[in-house]
Amino acid sequence: MIRWSHAALNCRDLDATEEFYRRHFGFTRSNDFKVDDTRIVFIRLGEEYLELFATPDTTGQERGQAENDGSARVGTVRHLAFQVDDVDGFLAGLGPDAEVSLGPLDFHAFIPGWRSVWIRDPDGIIVEVSQGYHEH
């Protein structure tokens, strides 16, 4: 049997990234340890995990690399995605942490009630937040 395990994120400021996902998405810390000199934190939402790596930015790449709904570069994650009941209410709750990269957009023509917005986390990773998506 195969089950989803986790997504791993490289973080310039691990504590800021953890706080962002805890405060706005409801994750809780499940583990915190060091492997050699690298701090790793697992955070959990239900049965889903994000693995956060404290990673110094040595690439010289700027935060704005991912645009709109995420990177179109082959071999990279385009974005993370979460479902909420109310996109506008979620954005209001983000307050000053709401760095919107695209939207909100209405996809009612495809699925009635489907709306999405894309935001940046503290490390510039694009996070899609949707309401109303379902299979038809």
DSSP-assigned letters across all residues of 41-53: EEEEETTEEEEEE
Q: How confident is the model at residue 57 (pLDDT cuts 50, 70, 90)?
A: low
What's the token pair of residue 49? Answer: 């995990």
Q: What is the pLDDT of residues 68-106, one digit of tens each?
A: 877 766 667 788 999 999 999 999 999 999 999 999 999
Taking each helix axis from N to C end, the angle separating 14-25 and 87-94, rounded to the nearest 10 degrees, works out to 140
CB contact at 8 A, 127 and 80: yes
Q: What are phi and psi of 44, to 5 degrees?
A: -135, 140
Rounded to two decimals, what is the model's pTM?
0.78
The single-letter code of the amino acid at 103 is: G
Mean pLDDT of 101-122: 92
CB contact at 8 A, 12 and 57: yes
